[in-house]
Amino acid sequence: MANIAIIGAGNVGANTAFFIAERNIGGVVMYDIQDGLAQGKALDMMEAAPIRGYQYAITGTNAIEDILDTRVAVLAAGTVREPGMKREDLFTKNTEIVDAVAAQMRDYGGTVVIATEPVDLMVMRFREKSGLDASRVVGLGGVLDSTRFRYALSRELGVTTENINAVVIGRHSDQMMPLADYSRISGVPVSTLMEQSALEAVIEETRNAGDLIVEMSQRSSSFYGPSAAAADVAQAIVWDTKRILPVSFVWDGQYGIDGVAMSLPVVLGYTGIERVLEPNLSQDQVRELKKSADEISSIYAKA
């Protein structure tokens, strides 16, 4: 029986299923409203199972009832960005899809992982429309941003990504906040291994990574990175690993901010967010977070 659902069998959804299968995390059921799309992609992946050694099944369905008994549901449905678009430009386009799914998942007993852009706004929207507890609606924002930060640091320093811990918090946009003080290479602060100018360049690259991929490909948003991040979050929940990951969720007083979704490190387990960790921030950093929160609130109020 599947314990991971994926809603939307497009690039992000299908690749999330693929990464989950490659890592033998658990059984997957993909749901899509387009007749046969999820079923066809599931069959295609399962025909690779004898070669790749998949231990769990991947199935497809057009009935949302088939996903409601799972432990994790990754929401990957919706329109993706094109060159020249900001994430916020997708809010109106994708709200109808998120609302429709949320209405059908009000009694869902697992955790919903939002990959649909704009992630922070969609976490807020899904939380409101579904009525699920804030600890069970999380977004990929900080996980994906931190992964991109780790890659950029590894490239510049010439070391494997396995040795790098990097933390990015805040809004999933060019206002994200990579925390150099909390980013280390085998325990050594990155600030002691890089010139300040080089570190600032890596931070700026991280902030603009998503936009760069869209502009370079001239087609659509990235999907391999988000899919890998979604698989990582799903694994932490299904396996109850208590792993610390920076996910987006609706804040409840953190740094004096309420009712807005942004990313902070949290402990993830079988029931979703078990504990929120609050890094020590400067007054300037807290002001930047509050500025981002105000902008998110303003955009959300116009929906």
Q: Which helix (H) or strand (E) holds 182?
A: strand 177-185
89, 173 contact by CB (below 8 A):
no
Interstrand relation of 58-61 and 72-75 (parallel, antiparallel or unpaired) = unpaired
The answer to whether the beta carbons of residues 98 and 8 sit under 8 Å apart is no
Cα dihedral 136, 99, 6, 86, rounded to 10, equals: -100
Strands 177-185 and 188-189, sheet pairing: antiparallel
Please tell me the distance from the alpha carbon of residue 75 to that of residue 110, in angstroms, as a whole number: 13
E strands within 212-295?
243-252, 258-269, 272-276
List the catalytic residue out of 136, 172, 184, 207: 172
- Distance, CA of 145 to CA of 136 (rounded, Å): 21
172 carries an active-site annotation? yes
Closest among 76, 87, 77, 74 to 214, alpha carbons compared:
87
Query: By the 8 A CB rule, do 134 and 123 touch?
Result: no
The residues assigned a catalytic role are 172
